[in-house]
A = this chain, B = another copy of it.
Amino acid sequence: MLLQELRTAVLEANLELVKRGLVLYTFGNASGIDREQGLVVIKPSGVDYDDLRPEHMVVTDLNGKIVDGRLKPSSDLDTHTLLYREFPGIGAVVHTHSEYATSFAQAGLPIPPLGTTHADYFCGPIPVTPSLTDEAIGGRYVHETGLAIVNHFRQQGIDPLAVPAVLVAGHAPFCWGKDPHAAAHNAVVLEAVARMAYRTLTLAPGHPGVSRALLDCHYFRKHGTRATYGQTS
């Protein structure tokens, strides 16, 4: 079977989302990419998570053309492939309607960095895209969603590796990472960060977020060449 290992990793990422309470029914999808072969592995559309097996994963090229698989790929495929084409440093994409992050996306509000939990994972606010125009919605909607993400990061000068998550206005979050496990982990942490931001902002409306110094300090404790957290360095 093509890309056996990546299929398993993508399946596990999808199941991690279920286990952590981020998806209801078949909502949500994860994918991963083999950069050498230029192939994307993604969850099929609308299949019960209980029934998912590695062989159900769909393999496409970077333009979304199916290379292997008998099931239809996730309906959000075109957003995933666009992110892979435009963010060459990422290895996996996760999309959920996790409820607190989605509430910020629905409100059209970014999640400011309010504390070190945020700062450990996201080196700046979680941005929210502008709303899609009616033309974009009526056109290649799923592709336009990806375009809105990429354009927003470019225009705001945000590094997708330093801020591996975005809120699509009126929709829900997309997250990414170096592999499916990391992307799912980021999605789970994003939801925890969103829960705490919701409560912080309802206690202290208009809170500006922590200082740049604290943000940098925490992010670089966990990431980069001077990381001090965990057993691997």
A binding-site residues for B, Cβ under 8 Å: 24-27, 44-47, 71-72, 75, 97, 99-100, 102-109, 114-117, 131-132, 134, 137-138, 141, 170-172, 185, 188-189, 192, 195-204, 207, 210-211, 213-214, 217, 221, 228-232
Which of A199, A201, A202, A217 has the most chain B CB atoms inside 10 A of its CB? A199
> Is the beta-carbon distance between A114 and B213 smaller than 8 angstroms?
no
**Chain B residues near A202 (CB-CB < 8 A):** 202-203
**Chain B residues near A44 (CB-CB < 8 A):** 231
> Is the beta-carbon distance between B137 and A172 smaller than 8 angstroms?
no
**Chain B nearest CB: distance from A209 CB in Å?**
9
24 contacts between A and B (CB under 8 A): A24-B192, A27-B117, A44-B231, A45-B230, A71-B231, A75-B228, A99-B192, A99-B196, A100-B199, A103-B199, A103-B200, A104-B203, A105-B115, A106-B114, A107-B114, A107-B207, A108-B204, A109-B203, A114-B170, A115-B170, A116-B170, A116-B171, A198-B199, A198-B203
Q: How far is the CA of A117 from the CA of B102 in the complex (A)?
A: 9
> Is the beta-carbon distance between B75 and A97 smaller than 8 angstroms?
no
